[in-house]
Structure 1
Amino acid sequence: MRSGSSTAEPCGSSASGLSTMAVYHHFGGIPELIRAVADRGFTELGRALSQVPVTEDPIADLFAMALMTRRVARENPHLYDLMFGLSTRRATYRPLSDSDVRSSGRSPAFRGAYVHLAEACARLVSSGRIGQQEPEAVAAQSWSYVHGCITLELADHFAEFADPVAQVLLPMGVNLAVGLGDDRERAQASHEAGARLYDSLTRGSEDQAVAE
């Protein structure tokens, strides 16, 4: 802000090195900038989920996606908060004309990430392992448990657990699968297979990071 001026720079512009005019020129305003950043996060999430191959076990695939999502969130928790409205829920920014900035579920970037989950849930319903129900509802329940658990973990609500994945996330996934109609032993085995699949997908990148 210039000396003697009563006009402050929009939040984020000075911190990022962008001028007020640059923000409005490229994005239209702060709400559009926030949505663009959130969309970038969903694009990265979609890229991560696309690394999980389609196997004969859709529940294993879903749990590998859950762990991949957790990895993305832990690598950039502030971006994750922004993607799911946790950083803007009390904001006083001007709402967008077509939808609120927090309604990321309407964006193509979100749909590009969510489609991986939706397709896996459709395969799960078709497999006959759970009761006949709408795949969209199964996907919404899966999305809710994964992101609810991750959000609580990022907020340190699971600090008392030595291994939040083994003690919270995996058992919750098993319980959801059983509630949907799967056999408990089979659901447990699938989640353990999903954890192994995730480990096989991420071990190479972790080894490379250590080498660098």
Structure 2
Amino acid sequence: MGIKERKERHKEDLKIRILEAAKKLFVKEGYEATSIRKIAAEIEFSPTTIYLYYKDKTDIAYALHQEGFSLLRERLAALVYVDQPFERLKAMGRAYIQFALDHPDFYELMFIMKEPMKYLQAHHPEEEWPEGERIFDGLIKTVAACQDSGYFGGMDTNEVAMLSWSVVHGLCSLHITSHFKHIAEKCGSYALPAHEALLESVFQVYLRSLERLS
């Protein structure tokens, strides 16, 4: 490996360390309490080093936001090969919920924290929300395919897609903020950890309601 390649690898490794440290601190201490100085101390570098790669905290938050969406898209992309549209819609919901269970830190940055959206408004006011729109477009296409197969007759495609996203996002947000866990503990015993089992049970109720709409 040449000098140029080694420098590039060092640069990418350092950016990864910065993002990992920032993600840890954002979730643990909160966005407002996290400073560039704290992030630098976490990786034992000077704040000046971080400014070589990121303009400010919102720049770092948005980079993490993009990384999280890349992971989510990978999971959803694998489902395009599910032939039956309604089965694909159900699989998308489960994949979304499982992503939140596996990566609560990313989920909070992507869908709960407001800072990435502030970054977009400040630096790219001409764009709406490209990462979220790509995910939502895939959901709309799947709902439209469901309608072509006889589901959701007479219903607006966008409204069904928004309802579906709102339900799973609500469940995930309750889980991320630990509200769901406290309710689950009052709802009996499960083979899985109570809150995860109840999360799946509520999702099943929603799926049955979707089927009745068809």
Bin of the TM-score, shorter chain as denominator length: 0.5 to 0.7
- Residue equivalent to 1:115: 137
1:33 aligns with 2:60: yes
Distance in 1 separating the partners of 2:184 and 2:54: 38
**Residue number among 25, 48, 62 corresponding to 2:75 in the alignment:** 48
Secondary structure of residue in 1 paired with 2:154: coil
- Residue equivalent to 1:75: 102
Distance in 2 separating the partners of 1:16 and 1:119: 43
Deviations 1:95-125 (A, max 9, x none): 43x5179x9x934333333333222111112
**Unaligned residue ranges in structure 2 (runs of 5+):** 1-34, 191-196
- Residue equivalent to 1:24: 51
Q: What is the CA-CA distance between 1:172 and the residue it aligns to?
A: 1.6
Q: Which deviates more from structure 2 when the two are superposed, residues 70-79 or residues 159-168?
A: 159-168
CA 1:68–1:18 in 2, change beyond 3 Å: closer, same or farther?
farther
Q: What is the CA-CA distance between 1:165 and the residue it aligns to?
A: 4.4
1:23–1:33 contact (8 Å) kept in structure 2? no
CA 1:131–1:79 in 2, change beyond 3 Å: closer, same or farther?
same
TM-score by length of 1: 0.65
1:46–1:114 contact (8 Å) kept in structure 2? no
Q: How many residues are matched? A: 166
TM-score by length of 2: 0.65
C-alpha RMSD of matched pairs (Å): 3.0
Distance in 2 separating the partners of 1:169 and 1:28: 41
Distance in 2 separating the partners of 1:124 and 1:18: 52
**Unaligned residue ranges in structure 1 (runs of 5+):** 1-7, 183-212
**Larger RCO (alpha carbons 8 Å, 6+ apart):** 1
More helix as a share of residues: 2
Deviations 1:132-170 (A, max 9, x none): 233222111111111111222332243344322442111
Percent of residue pairs bearing the same amino acid type: 21
1:60 aligns with 2:87: yes
Distance in 2 separating the partners of 1:140 and 1:17: 44
1:42–1:109 contact (8 Å) kept in structure 2? yes
CA 1:20–1:153 in 2, change beyond 3 Å: closer, same or farther?
same
- Residue equivalent to 2:185: 159
